[in-house]
Amino acid sequence: MKNTAFIVFGVFLALFLSWKGIVSCGIQKQFLDLSPATSSLDANGNNLEDEPTFPEVHAGLYAMGKDVYEELGCVSCHTQQVRSGDVALGLGKRQSVARDYVFQKNMQLGSLRIGPDLTNLGLREFKVEGKKASFEDWMYLMLRNPRILDSQNFMPSYSFLFNVKMRMAQKSSNTLVFPENSTFSPDEGYEVVPSRRAEALVYYLKNLKQDYELPEMKFTGESK
């Protein structure tokens, strides 16, 4: 153990082998051809013609919304992965697999569930005051201040994503609809409207869903 070169070489070799083994010869090689696929394949293992391939390619508003999601650090509390055991708990219809994330840069997989898993957020049903509400109506209120919907909710509010402005004769098309007599409603004559970033974020969140089958992973359960 007196030879410097021996120690230096040993350390480098150990790290190099693990990088080779895990990353370049392992994952990179195994997933070299990973690309969107149709839900089932033909006899030769090719995608079926005339059928949609999954995961879908999103662009524009979705990418902008993902940026907002990253910037705000939502990943600190929310995961975006359904493990095999999670299917029985109703987090999704099937387990998440590598192909689901094939297009994603800066994956927001997450490692802590202080809040719920968001893999299939876009598939959930929402209620405001016991009545069925659209995804956007519910999510805007949730982001504006979660206590509007549930006084016991511990998610932080993201009120800076919204603008409060004077109400014109005609209501803005995207104005937030507060529950009646809510203490969080804006003052008389004002309305709360989402900023462009909030719209992008909600569009992104609405498109979080793994509601398709892949050749390697079929539905094994029902999502709640």
Partner 1 sequence: MECDNSTFLIDKKAKVIDDSIKVPALLFVLSSAGWLVAGTILLLIGSIRLTNPGFLSGCEYFTYGKITDAQQSMWAYGWACNVVFGVCLWVIARLSGRKIASSSILLVAGLFWNLAVTIGVVGIFKGEYTGLSWIAFHPAVNTLLLIAYAMIGVWGIVSFMTRTNRNVFAAQWFILAALLVFPWIFSTASIALSDKMTLGILETVIHSWFVHNYFALFLTPAAVGVAYYLVPKFTGKAISGYSLAPIAFWALIIIAPWGGGEFLLGGPVPMWLQAAGQVSVLLMVIPVGIIVYNIFGSLFCRKKGVCACAIHPFSKFIVFGMLGLIAYTALKGALVFPEINAKLHFTFTTLASEYLGFYAFFSMIMFGGVYFMLPRLLGKDWCSKESILMQFVFSFTGIIMLVFFMLKSGCIQSQYVGQEGNVMQALQGPLRGQILAISLLLISHIMFLGHCLCLIASALCPCKALCHDESKESATVNA
Q: Which residues in the 12-31 window bind partner 1 by CB under 8 A? A: 12, 14-15, 17-19, 21-23, 26-28, 30-31
Please pick, from the candidates 25, 103, 134, 165, the single residue that binds partner 1 as defined by CB under 8 A. 103
Question: Per CB under 8 A, which region of 43-51, 66-74, 125-133, 176-184 contacts partner 1?
Answer: 66-74
96 is a site residue for partner 1 (CB under 8 A): yes
Q: Does 151 bind partner 1 (CB under 8 A)?
A: no
Which pair of structure tokens corresponds to residue 184? 């969080």
Of the candidates 10, 52, 134, 211, which one interacts with partner 1 according to CB under 8 A? 10
Binding residue for partner 1 (CB under 8 A) from 54, 140, 158, 162? 158
Please name the residue that has the structure tokens 């992973």. Answer: 217
Q: Which is nearer to partner 1, 11 or 48 (CB)?
A: 11
- The verdict on 110 binding partner 1 (CB under 8 A) reads yes
Question: How far apart, in Å, do the first and last CA atoms of the chain sit?
Answer: 60
- State which residue, 101 or 219, has the beta carbon closest to partner 1: 101
Radius of gyration of the chain measured on its C-alpha atoms: 23
Identified binder of partner 1 from the candidate list 41, 61, 102, 128, rule CB under 8 A = 102
How far apart CA 123 and CA 90 sit, in angstroms, is 12
Closest among 81, 75, 121, 123 to 100, alpha carbons compared = 81
Cβ at position 151, least distance to partner 1 in Å: 11
Question: Encoding tokens for residue 70?
Answer: 């990253």
- Among 44, 151, 152, 173, interactor with partner 1 by CB under 8 A: 152
Q: Which stretch binds partner 1 (CB under 8 A): 7-15, 41-49, 56-64, 179-187?
A: 7-15
Residue 203 to residue 133: CA distance in whole angstroms: 16
Which parts of 27-56 interact with partner 1 (CB under 8 A)?
27-28, 30-31, 34
Q: Which long-range CB contacts under 8 A does 98-105 form with residues at least 24 apart?
A: 98/31, 98/34, 99/34, 99/36, 99/37, 99/54, 99/55, 99/214, 99/216, 100/55, 100/210, 100/214, 101/55, 102/34, 102/35, 102/36, 102/55, 103/55, 103/57
Q: Does 72 bind partner 1 (CB under 8 A)?
A: yes
